[in-house]
Amino acid sequence: MNIPIFELERVQSIFENTVDFNLTESGFHPYTLQELLTEEQLSEVTNTVIGYGQTNGSIPLRQRVAAMYDGVSEDQVLITNGSAEANFVACHTLLEKGDEVIVMLPNYMQIWGVAQEMGCHTKSFHLKEKNQWQPDLQELKSLVTPKTKLIAICNPNNPTGYILSQSEMDEIVNIAREADAWILSDEVYRGAELNGELTPSFMGMYEKVIVNGGLSKAYALPGLRLGWLVGPKETIDNTWAYHDYTSITAGILSHAIGEIVLEPLKRNEILNRNRTMLNENLPAVQAWLDQYGDLFEYVPPQGGGMLFVKYNLDINSTALAEWLRVDKSVFLVAGDCYGIDKHFRIGIGERKDYILAGLERVKEALNERFDI
């Protein structure tokens, strides 16, 4: 097997549904269809003919997506089975064996793994914890060579919740333009900002930009498996060719629901619900962490659905996560999944009472093992 195991996804798949408390959900507590849709909309969905539909995405759905980006038409949009497929087909469209790919770290590590499977040379530039997770753009600039084909960004970032400033985005574009490299911007958390201000997209900043998004994270609808790519028309046409070889099409019911939820008023309703959850949950989780003094350190996220926490205990992060799962039926993602030990990820988009109940289990564990 040439592709590396995707550790972050694998451990979540194995453990997140087998514990009492999954404290590491990276999105928001999902909607039910009854919560999400009116009776009229439910009737509309249940009367949908269960066919294939248009394989690159229905025209109304692609129009809804296009409207979220300046100067974009529906012909510049490909609908995919989640943003994971979007990343996969984007990499296979843009990259060839021997290309260099520079990835922002920490990050959701899918693009890293796919690029390695394709025979690309992967490099990384880093968000610096000591600088409140600001990116080291001098490091990025130093890594670029004539072989650099792609710079992969995650904004808002998974797992730190950092949001690039406009000047940082401008500098990344300048670096990419000088190298004639593509920017692939994972923007799946766009819309999940604590301050309520929509994160600017890289789309439209440079002619060699392709962005992905989807309904799994900021929209609290992961089970729909609905994602998208947005980019230059010719490039999107080429991604559609790869999409024909992967899943062919996203589900027709996902199309139908996506058309409804991306209507501007409904979209704002969903995003406001989830931002409210973030702003209620983050202070509660911070208060829980702060009771332990300097045992835990963190930079409050600006967006996204999680808090990335550093801990000062003499235990590896994978061992910590395993211990809490086995002893207390609490699941946390270890920092090792991001290549950063002595950290763990807490989801802050769940129901507050559920999060706090899970943290009480963690409190019991810390008292029993470390007398804290």
Instruction: Return the domain boundaries, the chain.
Output: 7-31+267-366, 38-263
Over residues 237-262, mean pLDDT:
96
- Can you list the alpha helix ranges (DSSP code H) found in the chain? 7-15, 33-36, 39-46, 59-66, 82-94, 110-117, 137-143, 166-179, 233-245, 252-261, 264-290, 317-328, 352-370
| pLDDT > 70 in the chain, percent | 97
DSSP state of 29: P
Average pLDDT over residues 288-292: 98
Instruction: Name the β-bridge partners of 347.
Output: 306
Are 133 and 20 contacting, i.e. CB atoms less than 8 angstroms apart?
no
Q: How confident is the model at residue 13 (pLDDT cuts 50, 70, 90)?
A: low
Whole-angstrom CA distances from 241 to 172, 248, 335 are 29, 9, 36
Q: Quote the tokens at residue 322.
A: 């395993």
pLDDT of residue 232: 98
pLDDT in tens, 133-163: 999 999 999 999 999 999 999 999 999 999 9
- The answer to whether 189 touches 133, Cβ cutoff 8 Å, is no
pLDDT on residue 15? 72
Class of domain 7-31+267-366: alpha beta
Instruction: Calculate ∠ Cα 344-349-353, nearest 5°.
Output: 95
Token reading at 332: 């946390």
For helices 264-290 and 252-261, the axis angle rounded to 10 degrees is: 90
Query: DSSP letter at 30?
Result: P
What percentage of the chain exceeds 90 in pLDDT?
92
Least Cα distance to 181 among 152, 215, 157 occurs for 152
* pLDDT for residue 32: 96
> Mean pLDDT throughout 47-60?
95
Q: Could you tell me if 169 and 118 are in contact, meaning their C-beta atoms sit under 8 angstroms apart?
A: no
371 Cβ partners below 8 Å, 6+ apart? Answer: none
What DSSP assignment string belongs to 101-134? Answer: EEEEES--THHHHHHHHTTPEEEEEEEEGGGTTE
- At what angle are helices 39-46 and 252-261 packed, to 10 degrees? 160
Q: Are 175 and 207 in contact (CB under 8 A)?
A: no
Query: DSSP class of residue 193?
Result: B
Radius of gyration of the chain (CA): 20
Q: What angle do CA 143, 149, 155 make, to 5 degrees?
A: 75
For residue 134, the cross-strand partners are 128
pLDDT for the residue 343: 97
**∠ at Cα 324 (318, 327), nearest 5°?**
130
Higher pLDDT, 255 or 26: 255
Which residue stretches of 158-251 are H helix? 166-179, 233-245
Residue type, 265: L
What is the rounded CA–CA span in Å between residue 297 and residue 265?
Answer: 38
Q: What is the dihedral of CA 213, 50, 52, 110, to 10 degrees?
A: 30
CATH architecture group of domain 38-263: 3-Layer(aba) Sandwich (3.40)
Mean pLDDT within 20-26: 92
Burial bucket for residue 5 (CB in 10 Å: 0-12, 13-18, 19+):
exposed
Q: Which residue has the higher pLDDT, 1 or 64?
A: 64
Q: What is the structure's pLDDT at 7?
A: 65
Per-residue pLDDT of 78-122, as tens digits, reads 999 999 999 999 999 999 999 999 999 999 889 999 999 999 999
- For residues 181 and 189, give the distance between their C-alpha atoms in angstroms, rounded to a whole number: 24
Identify the three-state secondary structure at position 51. Answer: coil
What letter does residue 340 receive in the DSSP assignment? -
* pLDDT top residue among 18 and 286: 286
Asked if residue 1 has pLDDT above 60, the reply is no
Q: Which residues pair with 92 in a beta bridge?
A: none
Instruction: For residues 251-263, give the mean pLDDT.
Output: 97
Task: State whether residue 274 is helix, strand or coil.
Answer: helix
Q: Is 360 helix (H, G, I), strand (E, B) or coil?
A: helix
Q: What average pLDDT is seen over the chain?
A: 95
Mean pLDDT of 337-350: 95
Count of C-beta atoms within a 10 Å radius of residue 339: 14
